Chains A and B, each alone.
Chain A
Amino acid sequence: MLDIRIPIGLLFAVLGVLVLAFGIATNSDPEMYVKSMQININLWSGVFMTLFGAFMLIWVKMTKKAE
C-alpha cells in the first residue's frame, strides 16, 4: 500500500519551496511584515517545511535501502 511518508514529504517540500520563495521575494517589502514585527516569518516557515519534507522523503529512501 501507499507509504504515507511520501505524500507528506512531497506536500511539505512543495509548500516549503513555495513559501520560502515568497519570503525571499517579499524580503525587502517593509509593509509586508508589519504584522509579524518585521520577522520574515515566510522565510523561516519555508525553510522549516522544506527541511521537514526532505526529511520525510529521505526517511523513506533509507528504509527502502535497508530492505
Chain B
Amino acid sequence: MEQTFDLQWIDYAIMLIYFVFVLGIGWVLKRYMKDANAFLEAGRSMPAWVAGLAFISTNLGALEVMGMTGSGAKYGMMTTDFYWIGAIPAMIFLAIFMMPFYYGSKARSVPEYLKLRFDEKTRGLNAILFAVMTILASGISMYALAILMEKVLGWDFNLSLILSAAIVLGYTYLGGLSSAIYNEVLQFFIIVIGLFPIVYLSLHEVGGWHGLKESLEPIVTNKGFAADAFTTTWKYSGAAKSNPMGVEWYSIAAGLGFVLSFGYWCTNFLIVQRAMAAESPVAARKTPLIGALPKMFIPFLIIVPGIVALVLMNNPTSGFSITDPVTGQPNYDLTIIMLLKHYLPAGVLGLGLTALLASFMSGMAGNVSAFNTVWTYDIYQSYIRPVTSDKEADSKHYLKVGRLATIFGVLVSIAAAYLAGLFGNIMDFLQTIFSMINAPLFAVIALGMFWKRTTGHAAFIGLLAGFTIALLHHGLTAPMGATTLVKGGWLGIVHVYPVEMAQNFWTAIFAFVTSASLTIGLSLTTKKIKTDEELVGLVYSLTPRSGMNDGKWISRPSTLAWLVGIIAIILTILFW
C-alpha cells in the first residue's frame, strides 16, 4: 500500500468552507438558546423532513460508512440485510406504533418514558447504562476516524482528534440539539453528494451492474461460493456454508430483522430523540418514515462501491489494495478511503473526505446531544438537583448544566478515544457488551407499551436478567477460530458459532427471549401499582388515538408507511 496521498489547496478549501458553515449554523442558533427546553429538546419545533433527515444522518456515522463499505467487500450484497430487513420494518414499527407514546407522553427522553411508564429504578438503570454507552461509542468512532486520517492522509492523530472534537463541541455547545439536527441535515447532503462520484466511477469502470456481476464470477467461485453469491441477498441463505456471511435465513430474520433492529431503532434514544424534536405528533410519526426513504438507498452509495473494491483487490494491475502494511492482512475499514484515493482527483477528493468527516461529526454530535439530555434530565435532575418551585431559575440552571454536560461529554469522549488506542481489545469488548443492552430494553418497552399489566418490578428484573443472559451467552460461546477472549468464551466454551455475526444474533435472541418471558411472568405475579388513569398516553389500549394520522391522505403517516414498506419489498425481490 502506497502510504499517504497529497491533497491540493482546493481539497483543503472545501473542508474549510464546510467547517465555516457548520460552526456558522451553531453561531446563528445561539441566540435562540434561552432555556433548557430549547437547548436539549430543540423546543419540539422541527418540521418532519428536517427531523427525518437528521434521524438518518445520526445513524450514518463514520463507523457505519466505513463498516458497511468494508462489509460490501467482505460479504457482497448480503450486507443489505442490515437495511432492507434489518432497519426498515423496525423504522416503520417505531413510526406507526411507538412514536405516539414516546411523543404523546411528553417524556423528554427514553429513560424518562421508562420512569413515567414504570418506575424510578428502571429509569435509573437505563439512564446510567445509556450515558456510559453513548460516550464510549462516541470515543470509539473518534478513535477510528483519527487513526484512519493518520494512516491514509498522514495527519497527526492528536491534531485530527482534537480538531474534529472541537468543531463538534463548538456547534453543539452554541446551538444545542437544534444545531446538531440542522447540521445533520447538512451533513446528510454532503455525505450523499460527496460519495456519489465513487459510485458512478466505480460502476463505470467495471461496466455497470452487469459488468460487476461478470467480473465477480471468477473471484467468488474461487472463494468456494456460487458465482452470483455476492450480488444476491437471500438466494443462498438456505445453508450457512453457501453464503459469504455464514448465517442462515432464520438467524437473519430473527436476529437481525427482529431483535437487533427493533432493539436499536425503537429504543435507542440517540435515534428517537430526533423524532421527539418534531413539531407535532404527526410530524413525529413521519420522522422515522422520512428517514427510511433514503435509508433504503444508502446500500447503493456505500455497499456497491465496496463490492467493486473486491474486484479491484483481485486485479493486480489496478494498484488497489487494503492490505495493512504491518499485519499483512486485509483491513476492511480502509475500503472507503482507498476507494476515494483510487478514483477521485483533487477537487472531488476534498469533497469525498469532507463527506467522511461529516459522517463522523453527525455521529458524534448525535451521541453528545443525546448524552447531555439524559445526563441533565434523567441523572442530574432526578438524583442530584430536583426541580424547585422557581420555574424560571430552574430553566436557566438546567440550561447551564446542559451546556456543561456537552463539554464534559466531549472531554470524556476524547479520553475514551485515547483508551481505545491503548486498550483496543477492551473497548471492543465493552462495545459488544453494551450492544447487548438494546435487545432486553426493546422487550421491556414493547411489553410496557402494549400490555397495561406490565409492572415496574417486572420491567426492572427483566432488563437486568436479559442483560445477564446476554453476558453469559457471550461468555459461554465463541465464533470459530477466535483468538481472543474479547470475542467470547471467557467462561469456557459450550458452543462454537461458525461466524461472529451468528454469535451476535443469538446473543440478542437469548437476551430478548429471557427478558420478555421474565417480564411477562413477573408482571402476572407482582402487584400493578400504576392505575389505568396514570397510564393514559403511555399504553396503547388506554390511549385515545385521535390526531395521530391527520392530514390529506397522501401526506398521512400511514400512507408513507405503506410506501416505504412496498419499496423495501421491491428492492428485496430485485436483489433476491
Contact = CB atoms under 8 A, between A and B. Distances in A.
A23 B347 contact: yes
A10 B345 contact: no
Interface string A33-54: 1111101011001001100100
A11 B21 contact: yes
A42 B348 contact: yes
| Most B Cβ at <10 Å: residue of A10, A37, A42, A49 | A42
B212 to A, nearest CB: 15
A41 B50 CA distance: 29
B193 interface: yes
A11 B342 contact: no
B404 interface: no
Given A2-B25, A41-B197, A41-B201, A18 B346 contact: no
A42 B345 contact: yes
A18 B10 contact: yes
A8 interface: yes
Given A7-B25, A10-B21, A18-B13, A41 B348 contact: yes
Contacts of A18: 10, 13-14, 17
Interface in A5-43: 7-8, 10-12, 14-15, 18-19, 22-23, 26, 32-37, 39, 41-42
Nearest to B42: A1
Contacts of B18: 11, 15
Contacts of B24: 7
Contacts of A33: 345
Contact of A14 (B17, B32, B345, B347): B17
B351 interface: yes
A24 B102 CA distance: 52
B343 interface: yes
B258 interface: no
A12 to B, nearest CB: 7
A22 B351 contact: no
Contacts of B121: none
A33 B24 CA distance: 34
B186 A7 contact: yes
A19 B10 CA distance: 8
Interface in B1-25: 10, 13-14, 17-18, 21, 24-25
Q: Which 8 pairs show the lowest CB-CB distances between chains A and B?
A: A42-B347, A11-B21, A22-B347, A4-B182, A2-B28, A41-B348, A45-B348, A41-B197
Interface of A: 1-2, 4, 7-8, 10-12, 14-15, 18-19, 22-23, 26, 32-37, 39, 41-42, 45, 48-49, 52
Given A8-B185, A26-B345, A42-B347, 16 more contacts: A1-B32, A2-B29, A4-B182, A7-B28, A8-B186, A19-B10, A26-B347, A36-B201, A36-B344, A39-B201, A39-B204, A41-B348, A45-B193, A45-B197, A45-B351, A52-B193
13 contacts: A4-B50, A7-B182, A8-B186, A11-B21, A15-B18, A19-B348, A22-B346, A33-B345, A36-B197, A39-B201, A41-B344, A41-B348, A52-B189
